[in-house]
Structure 1
């Protein structure tokens, strides 16, 4: 064999070796561990799911409420065990995810009992079931009080409780309102205020079942029309945590 032929053979062998190495680096069957996307086909009762022919993929604790049809990320260890990181984003709100809004400044309303959405406490939502948790700071004339309600996409249902003082109260020792409301989009309730500049708080909580994408927002007005403003104060917050 001539030297040029030997050199060509050596170069070809080297090229093939390099190619095989690169292919191996990219192949799960060679590497023994990799991640990929898969579709859930069965929910097992032991903390695992079946996906695309793999009978048992262990779910991480952060992968909440697995559902058949979820597109998830899975990874394989070198010894062949599989783990599910969780579902991939659909561009919406994932189960277990919390979305929130904060009032950046106070909003005053005078001489009106007409409900209107708060300019800050509004959140875009997708179909699903949410846990509602709001923290509202407000003040107003003791006869005007604060009327609370919610604006939501068509078809939304749910129930809520205002977590506030009764509207008959005029001091911080007033009786708390215990009544819950069973229709989150139609029901309103008036909670107490004790005077302009006397800031108090309430903590509405509840369950919101959304069937159509849209915006969920705090809606409010004065309970009784007054020229003294009722204010929902800056730093109030609205949170929704998707639970199903």
Structure 2
């Protein structure tokens, strides 16, 4: 004779077996088949990440995985585990250049350095960026062209400066002459030579790998070397390219 307690026991046993079968099936590739899901990275190895208690092999495109990443992971029906990449966040995506450019000339008649209103961008905290400045400028030799950078507080790195050497006066028919090739701190002032004309342009290129600890502004600062009513110009076509690489 079957009693109500027997039914209760059988029901509990059935539920337990079904639950166990479901859990095993969820983890067994032969049962669940191939799929993908999101998982939070808890550890990083040599070419691998650990997430959901499993070790996933990273694709070559998943560069610099970090604990806390929300990663797209995939499991094949044969049990192979791969981590495709992290999800994008509100932060700057990796390897996608951001451009800032000057649509019009800007003229200044001061030796006080200040951020350019166009060549400026916000950098994320705890990130690595490649920052490039391509500058078309014009000034007379008496006042010249002077630069430095604004960088987020605590940022590390050095910036290179490539262009006509200070004191160099290029003629209207020659673009050659002595150059400068220094590598400096972000706040080191660089002074460039000119073509002795505030309308005939020269080019300077500055770049740096910037490693941040806090978020903040990265911008070109520029001014005249000597204050003069004869303006110094940063010309239309100058641009800034910023790429997060880590």
TM-score, scaled to structure 1: 0.79
- The alpha carbon displacement at 1:31 in A equals 5.5
SS of 1:197's partner is strand
In 2, Cα distance between the equivalents of 1:119 and 1:66? 35
- The alpha carbon displacement at 1:198 in A equals 1.4
2:192 alignment counterpart = 191
- The alpha carbon displacement at 1:113 in A equals 0.2
Q: Which runs of 5+ in 2 are unaligned?
A: 1-25
| Residues 64, 96 of structure 1: 8 Å contact kept | no
Q: Does 1:32 align with 2:33?
A: yes
Q: Which runs of 5+ in 1 are unaligned?
A: 1-26
Task: Map 1:14-163 to 2 at 5 A.
Answer: 32-45=33-46, 47-55=47-55, 57-110=56-109, 112-127=110-125, 128-163=127-162
In 2, Cα distance between the equivalents of 1:222 and 1:190? 9
| Residues 73, 88 of structure 1: 8 Å contact kept | yes
In 2, Cα distance between the equivalents of 1:82 and 1:237? 43
In 1, Cα distance between the equivalents of 2:182 and 2:45? 41
2:224 alignment counterpart = 222
The number of residues matched between the two structures is 213
- The alpha carbon displacement at 1:82 in A equals 2.5
| Residues 148, 222 of structure 2: 8 Å contact kept | yes
In 2, Cα distance between the equivalents of 1:210 and 1:143? 37
| Residues 65, 95 of structure 1: 8 Å contact kept | no
- The alpha carbon displacement at 1:141 in A equals 1.3
Question: 1:212-244: per-residue Cα shift (whole Å, max 9, x none)?
Answer: 212211110011222222111122111222233
- The alpha carbon displacement at 1:153 in A equals 2.6
CA RMSD of the aligned region, Å?
A: 2.1
Question: 1:16-68: per-residue Cα shift (whole Å, max 9, x none)?
Answer: xxxxxxxxxxx8965522221112233332x332222222x232222111123
TM-score, scaled to structure 2: 0.78
